[in-house]
Structure 1
Amino acid sequence: MKGLLFQGRPISDAQTFALLPLYLQDFLRAQNGVVAYFGGLHIRGCCHYPLWHDLGAAWNGEQAFWKRYRTVQPTDIPFAQDCVGNQFLLRGDAVLFLDTETGEIADLEVDFKHFLFGIEKFPLDALGMEPLRSFQQRGGQLEPGQLLSMYPPVCIQSRSEQRTLKPIPALERLTYLSGFYAQIKDLPDGQRLHYTLKA
């Protein structure tokens, strides 16, 4: 993988590791998670520290995605995320994409191996890295443990096409996104709203 910013320490969460499919175990044995493509992709590892890298916490901790998003099942493994905090989940052998603003899930119609192959070949498209590229062109740089905050949220049609991009701690960004989702999840499409909360 290109643009490596972080590689996880050796596996220290054997309990979570034992629950993973063999192909993910093989990947994590070789490298216990990474932040690659200059922050465009974060694959979580089986560790307890740092917390933002902890797959077990994202999967079954207090803030697990299946506890925050009704579209996510307890068996879905949130193995990775993109630069703004959208999630890649394993459901069986299929890789799913979770839009963390809206809670919508899309089947990417690839398995883990072909997911990695696709991002290696077409990282900008496969990872939706346009926000990160724009941030970098303005001189910005994501550090390990950070995600890009986008204001206003992508799912809101606003008068301005400009979005503010800034790096914030990953767990703070994910908490914000799940809170935003909780506020809008029952609104009909096209609902007018006045949005003042900043990311």
Structure 2
Amino acid sequence: MKGILYTGGELTDLVSFAQLPTYLQAFLREQNGVVAYFGGLHVRGCVVAPAWHTLAEAWQGENAFWRTYDTVMETDVPFAQDCVGNQFLLRGDAVLFLDTETGELADLEVDFKHFLFGAEKFPLEALGLEPLRDFQRAGGVLAPGQLLSVSPPVCIRTATEKTQLMARPAAERLAWLTAFYRQIKDLPDGQQIRFRPTE
């Protein structure tokens, strides 16, 4: 992986580690999670702290993704996220992509090994790095523990509004996405809404 900003250090959450598939255990033994591609990919680790890097929190914590998103199962492992907070989940051996604005779930039709291979070979496409590139071109830097806030949200089509990108603490960004999803999840496609940025 390129552009590594953070690695997770020692395995301190052995309970979560024991529940993971062997291939993910092997990866985490080498590096206990990582923030790579200058913030474009965050693979969570089996650690007690920091909270933003903790796999257990995203998987079984109070704000676990299966508790909010109708498409996510409790057994899905939210092993990674992209720069804006979309999630990569393991369901069996398949890697799934969760759009955290809309709750839509897509099967990427790759296993963990090929997901990492695709990210290494084609990071811009595989990880959706366009917002991060735009943010960097404007002089922004995404630090470990931060995600990009995108305003207006990607799923909202606007006629004139320019996209604003800001670095936010990961927990704050994910909480905002959860609240946004809950507000729009039952709206029909094409529904007009008035969007007031709060991030």
Deviation at 1:161, TM superposition (A): 5.0
Specify the alignment match of 2:183 in structure 1: 183
Specify the alignment match of 1:114 in structure 2: 114
Specify the alignment match of 1:123 in structure 2: 123
SS at the partner of 2:147?
strand
Paired residues, number: 199
Task: List gaps (5 residues or longer) in structure 2.
Answer: none
**How far apart are the structure 2 equivalents of 1:181 and 1:198?**
14
Specify the alignment match of 1:97 in structure 2: 97
SS at the partner of 1:24?
helix
Pairing of 1:13-162 with structure 2 (within 5 A): 13-162=13-162
**How far apart are the structure 1 equivalents of 2:130 and 2:11?**
32
**How far apart are the structure 2 equivalents of 1:55 and 1:152?**
28
SS at the partner of 1:89?
strand
The 8 Å contact of residues 10 and 32 in structure 1, kept in 2 or not, is answered as yes
**How far apart are the structure 2 equivalents of 1:103 and 1:191?**
16
The 8 Å contact of residues 4 and 34 in structure 2, kept in 1 or not, is answered as yes
**Residue 8 (str. 1) matches residue 18 (str. 2):** no
**How far apart are the structure 2 equivalents of 1:164 and 1:104?**
23
**How far apart are the structure 2 equivalents of 1:160 and 1:20?**
46
**How far apart are the structure 1 equivalents of 2:52 and 2:144?**
9
**How far apart are the structure 2 equivalents of 1:166 and 1:197?**
12
SS at the partner of 1:149?
strand
**How far apart are the structure 2 equivalents of 1:195 and 1:124?**
28
- Give, as a single letter, the amino acid of the residue that structure 1 aligns with 2:99: D
- Taking structure 2 as the reference length, the TM-score comes to 0.99
- Give, as a single letter, the amino acid of the residue that structure 2 aligns with 1:170: A
- Give, as a single letter, the amino acid of the residue that structure 2 aligns with 1:186: D
**How far apart are the structure 2 equivalents of 1:171 and 1:33?**
17
The 8 Å contact of residues 152 and 197 in structure 2, kept in 1 or not, is answered as no
**How far apart are the structure 2 equivalents of 1:39 and 1:140?**
11
Q: Deviations over 1:168-198 (max 9, x none)?
A: 0001000000100000000000001111133
**How far apart are the structure 2 equivalents of 1:58 and 1:97?**
15
- Give, as a single letter, the amino acid of the residue that structure 2 aligns with 1:162: K
- Give, as a single letter, the amino acid of the residue that structure 1 aligns with 2:189: D
Deviation at 1:158, TM superposition (A): 1.1
**How far apart are the structure 1 equivalents of 2:68 and 2:176?**
11
Where do 4+ consecutive residues of structure 1 move more than 2 Å?
none
SS at the partner of 1:176?
helix
- Taking structure 1 as the reference length, the TM-score comes to 0.99
Task: List gaps (5 residues or longer) in structure 1.
Answer: none
